[in-house]
Amino acid sequence: MKRSKYKKWIGNGITYIMLVAIIFMAVVVVTSKVSGGEPEMFGFQFKTVLSGSMEPEFDTGSVIVVKPVGDSERFNKGDVITFLEEDGKLITHRVVDVVSNGERVMYQTKGDNNQSPDRNLVLAENIVAQYSGFSIPFLGYIVNIAKSQNGAFLLLIPGIILLGYAGYVIFQAIREIDRSEKEKLNTIQDKSATS
């Protein structure tokens, strides 16, 4: 009896995990295709980490959750910000110094894993988001695949697994019903034979 209870819990757990995976991947693909950029949910954006400059805060291939900023002149030393470089590339590094000359606020940034600060100061208007403190290791690799041209195909994999598992559960349930029906029938036949 306990064994079947554990099987049921494990089965339910697998079902919920697969369902969450399908929903998450669908959201990632749809939001990135609609926005033409990074996936977004509940006002937060998901950015893929492409280098190890911020290790151990987050690893290469992680997805970090960032909050787009309104007031970009409010950051302090120690904040982790995402900013646009001159070449249009997004970088997420830690603020190591705030430089203000009266009319402009600029930030000196540095990757935690880098030996020296970044070469250029970051203008406040180039800051696009602030790191929320939440990251998911290795998910970036999957997100990059999902955002690719054939990424929607990736949604089929958890879907097929979930359908296969649902078929297996239905088959097991039918087998269990047949078994209990046979037991009831045998019990009724045994009672009528002894009467």
Residue whose tokens read 């919920």? 16
Is residue 51 annotated as part of the catalytic site, yes or no?
A: yes
- Mean pLDDT per segment of 10 residues, for the chain of length 195 residues? 69 74 66 59 74 81 81 81 84 86 84 86 84 78 67 67 78 82 77 67
Q: What is the pLDDT of residue 20?
A: 74
Active-site annotation holder among 4, 32, 35, 51: 51
SS (HEC) of the chain: CHHHHHHHHHHHHHHHHHHHHHHHHHHHHHHHHHHCCCCEECCEEEEECCCCCCCCCCCCCCEEEEEECCCCCCCCCCCEEEEECCCCCEEEEEEEEEEECCCCEEEEEECCCCCCCCCCCEEHHHEEEEEEEEEECCHHHHHHHHHCCCCHHHHHHHHHHHHHHHHHHHHHHHHHHHHHHHHHHHHHHHHHHHC
Q: What is the pLDDT of residue 148?
A: 67
Q: What is the pLDDT of residue 147?
A: 63
> What CA–CA distance (Å, rounded) separates 25 from 5?
30
**Domains along the chain with CATH numbers:** 13-175 (2.10.109.10)
Q: What is the pLDDT of residue 154?
A: 64
Q: What is the pLDDT of residue 149?
A: 66
pTM, two decimal places: 0.58
Look at residues 75, 66, 140, 136 and name the one whose alpha carbon lies nearest to residue 106: 75
